[in-house]
Amino acid sequence: MKDILLSLARAAIAESVGLSHDVDLQKLLKENSWLKEKGAVFVTLNNRSNHALRGCIGSLAAHRELYADVIDNAVSAAMHDPRFLPLSKNEFDNISVEVSLLSEPKELTYKDTEDLKNKIRPNIDGVVLKYGGRQATFLPQVWEELNDFYEFFAHLCQKAGLLGRCLDDHPVILTYQVQKFEE
């Protein structure tokens, strides 16, 4: 599974920057019927030399076939992440690709911030925060950088365009887990 998802993502990125690849999509689909099942993935690109984020786009819910979600999100991470310029041909060999296959997000009921802190599992749970028509998510991998509960949620609130203390407003919280595959 790992090699197939990563090769699909890398081939889609190669094609998007005008490079050739040797992935035969029709053959992959014929030999791996699970690729045609609905699935949701995030594709993350990192700079190989300094490990800095270079793009990350994904789907929270399985709304199309897995192979299509991988291809579309890989291209979007490379070419359409609004935080970065589109990936160039020259950068292609200097990126590493990560594909995170998401479980279905489930709402987490909690009484207050302390109760939420006790229920959230750092490094296991990805988190979706929703409030006032705004939404943001962090993959479980983000806990590696933001390993303090309050710092993690302050950044997530800000990513959603809310004040860093938005947990005071009791937003809707959903959690999910991932299978992470990286080059």
Domain of 82, CATH number, reads 3.30.700.20
Query: Tens digit of pLDDT for each residue in 31-78?
Result: 999 999 999 999 999 999 999 999 999 999 999 999 999 999 999 999
Query: How far apart (Å, rounded) are the C-alpha atoms in residues 119 and 125?
Result: 10
> What is the 8-class DSSP label of residue 107?
E
| pLDDT given at position 42 | 97
Q: How confident is the model at residue 9 (pLDDT cuts 50, 70, 90)?
A: very high
Q: Return the percentage of the chain with pLDDT > 70, whole number.
A: 100
Q: What is the CATH number of the domain that holds 121?
A: 3.30.1490.150
62 and 75, same domain (yes or no): yes
154 and 135, same domain (yes or no): yes
Domain count, the chain: 2
Of the residues 102, 134, 168, the one at which a domain ends: 102
Q: Please give the single-letter amino acid code of residue 102.
A: L
CA 168 to chain centre: 26
61 with 104: CB under 8 angstroms? yes
Confidence (pTM):
0.91
| pLDDT given at position 59 | 97
Q: How confident is the model at residue 13 (pLDDT cuts 50, 70, 90)?
A: very high
Q: What are phi and psi of 6, to 5 degrees?
A: -70, -40
Distances from the Cα of 84 to the Cα of 12, 36, 69, 76, angstroms? 18, 31, 21, 11
Max Cα distance, the chain (Å): 53
Q: How confident is the model at residue 123 (pLDDT cuts 50, 70, 90)?
A: very high
84 and 114, same domain (yes or no): no
16 with 97: CB under 8 angstroms? no
> What is the 8-class DSSP label of residue 50?
T
Query: Tens digit of pLDDT for each residue in 158-182?
Result: 999 999 999 999 999 999 999 999 9
153 and 93, same domain (yes or no): no
Name the β-bridge partners of 102. 178
58 and 143, same domain (yes or no): no
45 with 87: CB under 8 angstroms? yes
Of the residues 102, 126, 142, the one at which a domain ends: 102
Neighbours of 42 (CB within 10 A): 23
Domain that holds residue 119: 106-181
Burial class (CB in 10 A: 0-12, 13-18, 19+), 23: middle
| pLDDT given at position 76 | 98
Q: How confident is the model at residue 16 (pLDDT cuts 50, 70, 90)?
A: very high
